[in-house]
Every structure is written in C-alpha cells, then in structure tokens.
C-alpha cells in the first residue's frame, strides 16, 4: 500500500507545483532595447539553445527605446499576465551594465520568473503581480563559461544563460543565488487615484502606431464616477507637474463615435482610460509623451 500512496502524494505535489507556478515550463520570452539590426538577440537565443535544445524561445519586443527602463517596465506588465505560470522572461534594458546594479530573478505571486537587472524594470510587475521572492544571480555559477572578461553583454552571458538553466530545470529557483528581501528598485510615478471627483494617473505609454495616449487609470476606478457614453471627460496633461495641454473628450465605445479628427476618451485593450483623435495622432498633435514624469487629471461632466 505504501507505493500507491507515495505515487498519489507525488502526483498531488506535481499538480500543486504546476498550479502555483513552482515548476518552470521550458519557455523563455525575451525583451530588450537591442533592435534587430545586429546579432545580439540571436546570440542570446543561441546561448539558451546551447543550454537546452528543448526550450521554446519567444520575443516580447526588442524595440524598447534605447535605455528606456520605464517602457521596459510597462511592456512587462502589459504582457506577463497573458503567459502561463512558469514562463521565464528575460528583460535587458541595462544602461548600467557592468556597474554595481544587481542582477536578479524575480518570482511573482502569479508564478512567473523575470531575469533582469534590478534597475527599475520590475517596478510595475512587482506592484501588479506581487513579489513572491527575489534572488540575486550568483555569477560564479550562473554565467556562460569563459565569459568572465566580458562586462558589456550580460544579456547574453548572464541573463540568457541563467534563464535557460532555470527554464530547462537545470537549476531550481533557489539555485539562482542568494535570497534577497522582497523589494526591488522602483521608479516613482503617479499611481491611479480618485479623490473628490478627480481621477489622477500616469501616462503609462503611447500607442506608438497611432499616437493614442494610454493612462494607468483602470475601468474599475473610472466607473466609480459612473460615466455614460457621450459624457465629456475633461483631461489635463502634465509633464514634471507642469500643465502641457487640456482637452474635452467624449467618453466613447468606439473611435467612430466622434467625427474624424476629433478627440475622444475610451477604454483600451487593457481596460484602462485612454485618449485619442479619431484617425489622427493625439500625442503628436498636442506634444504629449509618456513615462513616469507624465501624469493626468480627469473629471467627468455628465450630460
């Protein structure tokens, strides 16, 4: 009777591990500011494949603007929740490469793993998905062989290599390195709030293809003001706290609800409040940017 019981316990443990993201799933998703003009991305994937040919390798994006840690942070938050627990992400936007900034692996409460420099890249996923654990990469063990003299391509020599060992099961999360406090370097930004009928938030990103302005104000927060389609949302845009532009934008379900060239407010694909010009470029027209230093204030004028 002992063997069937042990088998049953083992199966339960495996199911729990899978359900809670304890087990890696042999999948790596890469993000960087490298672009695709040279062989940098291919080199990282080559290192991963050398560790294990069984890995599944995907790209999040390699078009993060150079050195833009905030955008790297946003693209992770935008994407990570849609991948299965156990997926390992590599994010390399690393203007401090070779300096004293730490190289870490963050395990989220959702069971995802992110291999990255701890330079602010983890700001948003740490807030939205939560921190289960953080470990500093032990480069004495988790570094590509004979790469110790290279100080400028940790994406290849440390992050891709560590991610591949972790994703393939060659190492456990505990073998990544020393456990750190459940804290990461954070970029200050305006969190979404509602106070006295005024919504405040951050301009998280621009929809770069169309120039739409995406905030971090969620549908749930906006709905506390009970807007109806056609109500006017009055929005003021700030950069470093200085007013840049203000507009009145009808709250709309579709872009076609307003005339071509006219402003509107809407919920984007992440169910967050956004602003656009129908068949126009809102950001370019009004010189609006995105990042931690950009913010908005919004009120609703009911019809």
Nearest to 295 by CA among 239, 254, 246: 239
Better pLDDT: 130 or 8: 130
Find out whether 67 and 92 touch, Cβ atoms under 8 Å. Answer: no
Looking at every residue in the chain, the average pLDDT score rounds to: 92
Q: Which percentage of the chain shows pLDDT scores above 90?
A: 83
Q: What is the per-residue pLDDT for 22?
A: 52
Q: What is the per-residue pLDDT for 6?
A: 45
Q: What is the per-residue pLDDT for 255?
A: 95
Q: Is the pLDDT of residue 42 over 50?
A: yes
pLDDT confidence tier of residue 303, bands split at 50, 70 and 90: confident
Nearest to 207 by CA among 99, 301, 290: 290
Give dist(CA 32, CA 122) in Å, integer: 14
Q: Is the pLDDT of residue 239 over 50?
A: yes
Q: What is the per-residue pLDDT for 14?
A: 44
Which domains, from first to last, does the chain contain? 2-180 (3.40.50.10790), 193-301 (2.40.30.90)
Angle 40-51/161-168 helices, nearest 10 degrees?
Answer: 40
Better pLDDT: 6 or 24: 24
Q: Is the pLDDT of residue 288 over 70?
A: yes
pLDDT confidence tier of residue 147, bands split at 50, 70 and 90: low
Average pLDDT of span 234-244:
98
Q: What is the per-residue pLDDT for 4?
A: 53
pTM: 0.87
Q: What is the per-residue pLDDT for 16?
A: 45
Lowest average pLDDT, out of 50-64, 128-142, 148-162, 252-266, goes to: 148-162
Beta strand segments in the chain, E:
27-32, 56-61, 88-92, 103-108, 113-117, 131-136, 179-180, 193-195, 198-207, 212-218, 232-239, 242-250, 263-267, 272-277, 294-301
Better pLDDT: 140 or 275: 275
Q: Is the pLDDT of residue 10 over 70?
A: no
pLDDT confidence tier of residue 297, bands split at 50, 70 and 90: very high
pLDDT confidence tier of residue 98, bands split at 50, 70 and 90: confident
Q: Is the pLDDT of residue 23 over 80?
A: no
Q: What is the per-residue pLDDT for 13?
A: 41
Average pLDDT of span 252-262:
96
């Amino acid at each position: 009777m002992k063997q069937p019981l042990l088998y049953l316990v083992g199966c339960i443990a495996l199911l729990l591990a899978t359900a809670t993201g304890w087990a890696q799933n042999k999948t790596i998703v890469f993000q960087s500011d490298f672009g695709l003009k040279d062989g940098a991305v291919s080199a990282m994937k080559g290192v991963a494949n050398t560790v294990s040919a069984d890995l599944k390798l995907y790209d999040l994006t390699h078009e993060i603007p150079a050195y833009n840690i905030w955008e790297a942070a946003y693209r992770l938050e935008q994407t990570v929740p849609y991948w299965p627990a156990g997926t390992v992400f590599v994010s390399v936007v690393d203007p401090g490469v070779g300096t004293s900034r730490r190289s870490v692996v963050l395990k989220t409460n959702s069971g995802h793993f992110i291999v990255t420099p701890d330079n602010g890249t983890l700001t948003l996923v740490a807030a939205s998905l939560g921190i289960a654990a953080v470990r500093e990469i032990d480069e004495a063990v988790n570094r590509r062989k004979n790469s110790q003299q290279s100080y400028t391509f940790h994406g290849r020599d440390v992050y891709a290599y560590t991610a591949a060992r972790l994703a393939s099961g060659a190492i456990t999360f505990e073998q990544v390195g020393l456990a750190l406090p459940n804290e990461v370097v954070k970029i200050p930004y305006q969190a979404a709030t509602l106070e006295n009928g005024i919504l405040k938030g951050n301009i998280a990103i621009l929809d770069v293809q169309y120039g739409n302005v995406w905030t971090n104000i969620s549908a749930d927060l906006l709905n506390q003001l009970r807007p109806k389609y056609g109500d006017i949302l009055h929005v003021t845009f700030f950069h470093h706290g200085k007013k840049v532009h203000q507009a009145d934008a009808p709250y709309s379900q579709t872009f076609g609800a307003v005339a071509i060239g006219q402003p509107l407010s809407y919920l984007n694909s992440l169910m967050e409040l956004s602003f656009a010009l129908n068949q126009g470029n809102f950001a370019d027209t009004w010189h609006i940017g995105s990042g931690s230093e950009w913010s908005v204030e919004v009120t609703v004028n009911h019809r």
